[in-house]
């Protein structure tokens, strides 16, 4: 019996956003940790993602099967680098994440619209004096 469709969960934490962004970046192009750190700073400019946090997430995602990694010799004279790429399971997780982000965006847009409908409070000097 096929599994029923469920509404994907919206990202609940900073970590959820980081994981989704890593998957998105790897779906676009495989890369090594330093390169991913530079790219994620452009995608998530409002939040600091430390290199240590990024590498921890990459190791966890590798263990969970969302990404795969291989050691590649450097194009320059430097040491070999671990290069990450998204797996099929990672692509499915990315699709779920994007649907969840869509739900979060809808909720935030509804909050913004509600705020815009609020009456604008008048400054104290413009209010009529009480009789």
- Whose CA is closest to 52, among 33, 76, 25, 74? 33
pLDDT tens-digit map of 28-72: 999 999 999 999 999 888 888 999 999 999 999 999 999 999 998
State yes or no: pLDDT of 131 exceeds 60: no
Name the nearest CA neighbour of 16 among 45, 52, 44, 51.
44
Q: Tell me the pTM.
A: 0.76
Q: In degrees to the nearest 10, what's the CA dihedral of 105, 108, 110, 111?
A: 180
- Cβ(47)–Cβ(17) below 8 Å: yes
pLDDT tens-digit series, residues 61-71: 999 999 999 99
């Amino acid at each position: 019996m096929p599994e029923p469709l469920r509404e994907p969960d919206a990202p609940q934490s900073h970590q959820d956003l980081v994981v989704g962004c890593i998957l998105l970046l790897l779906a676009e192009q495989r890369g090594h940790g330093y390169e991913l750190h530079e790219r994620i700073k452009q995608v998530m400019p409002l939040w600091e993602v430390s290199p240590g946090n990024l590498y921890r997430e990459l190791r966890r995602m590798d263990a969970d099967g969302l990404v795969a990694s291989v050691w590649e010799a450097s194009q320059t004279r430097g040491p070999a680098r671990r290069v990450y790429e998204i797996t099929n399971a990672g692509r499915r997780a990315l699709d779920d994440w994007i649907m969840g982000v869509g739900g979060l965006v809808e909720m935030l847009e509804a909050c913004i619209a509600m705020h815009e409908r609020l009456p604008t409070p008048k400054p104290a000097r413009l209010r009529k004096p009480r009789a």
